[in-house]
Structure 1
Amino acid sequence: MKFYDRIKEMETLQEIETMSAEYAQMTIMVGRRRVGKTTLLRKAFTLTPVLYFFIGRKNEILLCEEFVEEVEVKLGETLGNFTSFAQLFKALMQVSKRKNFTLIIDEFQEFKNISPSLFSDMQNIWDANKEESRMNLIICGSIYSMMKQIFENSKEPLYGRATARIHLRPFEINTIKEILADNHPAYKPEDLLAFYLMTGGVAKYIEQLVVRKAFTKDKILRTVLTPGSYFLEEGKDVLIEEFGKDYNNYFSILALIASSKTSRGDIESTLNMPIGGYLDKLENEYNIIRRVRPFMAKEGSRNNKYKIVDNFLQFWFRFIYKYRSAVEIGNLEYVLQIVERDYETYSGYILEKYFRTKLAESKLYSDVQGYWDRKGENEIDIIAVNDLEKQLLIGEVKRNKERINLHILENKATEIAKKYGDYHIEYRAFSLEDM
């Protein structure tokens, strides 16, 4: 698959590379697994030799042997043998005083398992040598919670050392449409919705569908729900390492959120256990869920709902994890029938998210939210605000535009319209045909 987008990130990385010719740089890149961090980093740098160190779970001495070979090939430097990465890093810092080069350390958080003292050692080595160094150091990791702990916890040795931080996110909607158009120019709105529903813009998932030429709704669903599919174990592969031994409780909570039990009360009453700590970690440490409150609700309001941020994980917990017994015995046709039975309702929810995301990505609005009353009723799908130009867009989303009645929408929004009396208010219908 060809390389798409990432223009801003490439510009940022290349600007950092240029600065490293005079001053040492330490850039932290985070992002969920499969989002395309490694591919971006391998393409970004053109001015300097690039060393790429992947931190696999193996003996530290063996890792050092691999990395020394990379140094000899890329920099033409013979450094000798090392028994610890700290020693090798110290030698590279010395080399960087006379040579400008880029060092990418991928899956950096794995050092927590291999050599926990490394973070403190690196801090000392970096602080002692950075003033004379011309190293462009890129530290990359995909276990969000661990990278956050290493670099954002004030008690950790590497806290405050980074000169730049990049959070790589999935492709935006315009890029998703471009990829689909390049590979299947005759795509229909239903195909675009299924492509967005399953991938959410995550590069690896898009690549899997492109390789299998799965560009229509039916082909996409069958590709995901087929024996040996890459996607069947993916939710577990991505998250078990994040959650550790407590993963069962986290998975149960995510499965309930994916099945529309989105309030804390609903989840606690179903599981019969307190979940406040789990929700807090899922939102603030793992970045997997987001707490949303209705438009105009004040900070601290208890009228909250929880949403899974990632489209694929939402689908995986709703259909693959929930029906894992059928998946484990190989009855994927049964799971596919359930997906097809529920598809219209489920894809309608994703269609709402599509248009909210599209409006947010347009950069025309300061806030894009939904609305519901205290009873969880009287819902409005989209409220987009431009405070600068005093404009308010109130939208209803349905797969079929003929089922949208803007007069009913206006009645639902009466109280909102009163509070925004000096704003220009537009009522708009969004449907499949508007994608």
Structure 2
Amino acid sequence: MLLVLDEYPELAAGDPAIDTRLRAVWEEERNQTNLKVLLCGSAVRSMEAMVEYRSPLHGRFDLRLLVHPFRPHEAALMLPDLSPEDRARAWSVCDGTPLYLSWWDQAAPTVENLRRLCGEPGAPLRTEGELILATDGVAGGLARQVLGAIAAGQNRYSEIAQAIGSGRQVARVLDDLEKLRLVDRVVPVTEQAGARSGRTGYRIADNFLAFWLGPLSRFLGEIDRGMGDMVARTLNSRLDDHIGPRFEEAFRCHLRRLAIPGHFGDEVLRVGSYWARGDVEIDAVVLAGTPPTAVAVGEAKWAAQVSARALLPTLVERSLALPRRADDLMYVICARTRVTRSEGVLPVTAADIFA
């Protein structure tokens, strides 16, 4: 027998003794019936508190699973009637959350979707950002300011502290937001994932929250005053600026997909971005082997057409900054629709990523 309790934190908020009573029932029934209990919830802080040492349910969980949003190619399955470019646009706004993707009208243009989903006071995506922040307890205060600073492009610790004028508490707030999965801490792919270094950066964890805190939040007042049509047109005209970093992450997701069947060899460790002093930035680096060696590097541009011949010299030069690179280093160039003059490189487009 399978017992599913969805949004369990809401149940616990109304009945503080539910954890203790659930434990008693489970321990009595598990030896008499084939009982399985599945607890689900979207409030990360509350769900993680259930497994802590002093919790009545501590030690009772056989599996803890964080459910991630759909990846680009998975989100595309919910948008079969859209072109690859429009799938990318919808994903950049809705991320991989199935509910948000189901709200996107495939028969309507992007600007109409933005108007319907964002351009009215009670529109679904207009209110969803506030609900997410309220659910995790960061609807206001310093945490909201930190999120706003990151969404505005201040992604280093010093930049965030300077933007909000409160450096002492920023580190604690960033750690809290990272635990809530609202913020990702990122380092160059050549460094250990958990490392703290002078090159540590921060980014909003999902596309929707980045869209809500970034482009959309600037116009919330105008939306509430009935200017949603104008706001939708403005958001649509500026959407390419929002998509750029999101398309780079979609590109890295695609390279991970290619790595699984061995496209870059049998010992791929990770795929990520790389940056160093001197304005060296590489959108994607594939590391493999021991010691970790770059076997592929890539550049992604949210432009309809990109000339590989024009981008390749810069990509080659930047790759020289990597600590280790393979003699047969592979080069990958990504564009929205078409990569031209692609001799010697692997071309990737939105049709490959969102297929």
- Establish whether TM, by shorter chain, passes 0.5: yes
Instruction: Return the TM-score normalized by structure 1.
Output: 0.69
Change (3 A) 1:241 1:176: closer
Task: For residue 164 of structure 1, give the secondary structure of its aligned residue in structure 2.
Answer: coil
Task: For residue 252 of structure 1, give the secondary structure of its aligned residue in structure 2.
Answer: helix
Kindly provide the CA deviation profile for residues 75-122 of structure 1, in whole angstroms up to 9, marking residues without a partner as x: xxxxxxxxxxxxxxxxxxxxxxxxxx2211111112332221221232
Task: Work out whether residues 255 and 322 of structure 1, in 8 Å CA contact, stay in contact via their aligned partners in 2.
Answer: no
Alignment partner of 2:272 out of 348, 369, 376: 369
Say how many residue pairs are matched.
323
Task: Work out whether residues 185 and 202 of structure 2, in 8 Å CA contact, stay in contact via their aligned partners in 1.
Answer: yes
Kindly provide the CA deviation profile for residues 154-211 of structure 1, in whole angstroms up to 9, marking residues without a partner as x: 2212112012233222223222223322xx1xx33321211211121211011111xx
When Rg is computed on C-alpha atoms for both structures, the one with the higher figure is 1
Q: Quote the Cα distance in structure 2 between the aligned partners of 1:230 and 1:221.
A: 10
**Other-structure match for 1:48:** none
Alignment partner of 1:145 out of 45, 48, 54: 45
Change (3 A) 1:326 1:248: farther
Alignment of 1:211-226 (within 5 A): 212-214=105-107, 216-226=109-119
Change (3 A) 1:109 1:222: same
Alignment partner of 1:409 out of 303, 315, 323: 315
AA aligned to 1:415 is A
Task: Work out whether residues 391 and 423 of structure 1, in 8 Å CA contact, stay in contact via their aligned partners in 2.
Answer: no
Alignment of 1:390-409 (within 5 A): 392-400=295-303, 401-402=306-307, 405-409=311-315
Change (3 A) 1:134 1:252: same
AA aligned to 1:302 is G
More helix by share: 1
User: Is there any run of 5+ residues in structure 1 with no aligned partner, and where?
Assistant: 1-100
Deviation >4 Å, runs of 4+: 388-391
**Other-structure match for 1:267:** 160
Change (3 A) 1:214 1:315: farther
Q: Quote the Cα distance in structure 2 between the aligned partners of 1:323 and 1:270.
A: 20
Q: Quote the Cα distance in structure 1 between the aligned partners of 2:234 and 2:141.
A: 24
Task: Work out whether residues 390 and 423 of structure 1, in 8 Å CA contact, stay in contact via their aligned partners in 2.
Answer: no
TM superposition shift of 1:414: 0.7
Task: For residue 280 of structure 2, give the secondary structure of its aligned residue in structure 1.
Answer: coil
1:160 matched to 2:59: yes
Instruction: Return the TM-score normalized by structure 2.
Output: 0.83
Q: Quote the Cα distance in structure 2 between the aligned partners of 1:109 and 1:424.
A: 52
**Other-structure match for 2:335:** 431
Quote the sequence identity (%).
22
Task: For residue 392 of structure 1, give the secondary structure of its aligned residue in structure 2.
Answer: strand
Task: Work out whether residues 75 and 91 of structure 2, in 8 Å CA contact, stay in contact via their aligned partners in 1.
Answer: yes
Change (3 A) 1:430 1:213: closer
Q: Quote the Cα distance in structure 2 between the aligned partners of 1:108 and 1:423.
A: 53
Alignment partner of 1:342 out of 234, 238, 242: 238
Change (3 A) 1:387 1:223: farther
Task: For residue 33 of structure 2, give the secondary structure of its aligned residue in structure 1.
Answer: coil
**Other-structure match for 1:288:** 182
Q: Quote the Cα distance in structure 2 between the aligned partners of 1:361 and 1:161.
A: 35
Q: Quote the Cα distance in structure 2 between the aligned partners of 1:147 and 1:380.
A: 37
Alignment partner of 1:110 out of 10, 17, 26: 10
**Other-structure match for 1:119:** 19
User: Is there any run of 5+ residues in structure 2 with no aligned partner, and where?
Assistant: 263-267, 338-348, 351-355
AA aligned to 1:155 is R
Aligned-residue CA RMSD (Å): 2.4
Question: Which deviates the most, 215-224 or 401-410?
Answer: 215-224
